[in-house]
Amino acid sequence: MNRTRLLLSLILAVGLAPSAQALEILRWERLPLAVPLHVDEERVIFIDRNIRVGVPASLGKRLRVQSAAGTIYLRASEPIEPTRLQLQDADTGALILLDIVAEPARPDQPPLEPVRIVEGETTPARYGDLKAAGAGDGQNGTPPPRTPRETPAAVVLTRFAAQNLFAPLRTVEPVAGVTRVNLKRNMVLDTLLPTLPVQAAALAAWRVDDLWITAVRLANTSTRRLALDPRELQGDFLTATFQHDTLGPAGSPEDTSVVYLVTRGHGLADSLLPAIGRIDAASNLPDPSTRKKGVGHEK
């Protein structure tokens, strides 16, 4: 009998545990997550990532946002209409979207539980991710082979560079291993397209594994439309991709485009042909008056 009463007491104790200890699990599957708030009540979100929070300027001081060690603290000081927040992984650039709304809590309404955001099981593999290595890789003292990517690295880099330059931040697909590369100052690109009247300037560069990609801005300096042909590019390039296949006349909205150049083992500066200055043939000829006379010509 005593044992039965003890068991009942434990069951009642568990059943009557405060609901504040509960945790709401939200799975991120590329769909915005709804996170309601109560006015003047802090809600905690656990995400276990190094996160940057993007807050619309329209919220002003109505929402206090604090982030520390993979935990986000949200507190609304007044009602907030449905608003979207962007959580960005500082390491990979991945985005998680939160749809928040803040309303006053009813007198009989309990506090909202903390939220934990986890990766959804049905989330597809990210573009450019590494494939899983085989079980026998790296055995018998031999180094494991380089793990291939789901998509060729040159394609991944080109798409990543184009998105970073022209796409909204929320649409940029994160790619593991891609890092920004500093460009060489005052890089001369006169030999890149020597047969076309264009002005070239390097915009940005990234790297993954042993591949570099450099985005180069091309501006038409002539009054005619130019066709862009990768066969006219001069240099040691693995791939070359034009944003557009033509350039409009100078001064038109279509007079500027971008070419994405992928190089292996080094950056763009080491892949260009050396610039050859104009040689003044006359200045390099020996002066006849200083030419030494041969023995047979002496008088």
pLDDT tens-digit readout, 283-292: 455 555 555 4
**Measured at the alpha carbon of residue 38, what is the angle toward residues 33 and 44, in degrees to the nearest 5?**
60
**What pLDDT does 280 receive?**
45
Q: Which amino acid is at 128?
A: G
- Sorting pLDDT into bands at 50, 70 and 90, what band is 297? very low
Range from 66-70, 109-113, 148-152, 160-164 carrying the lowest mean pLDDT: 148-152
**What pLDDT does 13 receive?**
46
pLDDT at 100 over 80: yes
Mean pLDDT score across all residues of the chain: 80
**Secondary structure of residue 139 in the 3-state scheme:** coil
To which residue do tokens 């043939």 refer? 281
Domains in the chain with CATH codes: 20-119 (2.60.40.1080), 153-270 (no CATH)
pLDDT at 151 over 70: yes
pLDDT tens-digit readout, 201-230: 999 999 998 999 999 999 999 999 999 999
**Among 218, 256, 255, 260, CA closest to 242:** 260
d(CA 293, CA 264): 54
Q: Which amino acid is at 161?
A: A
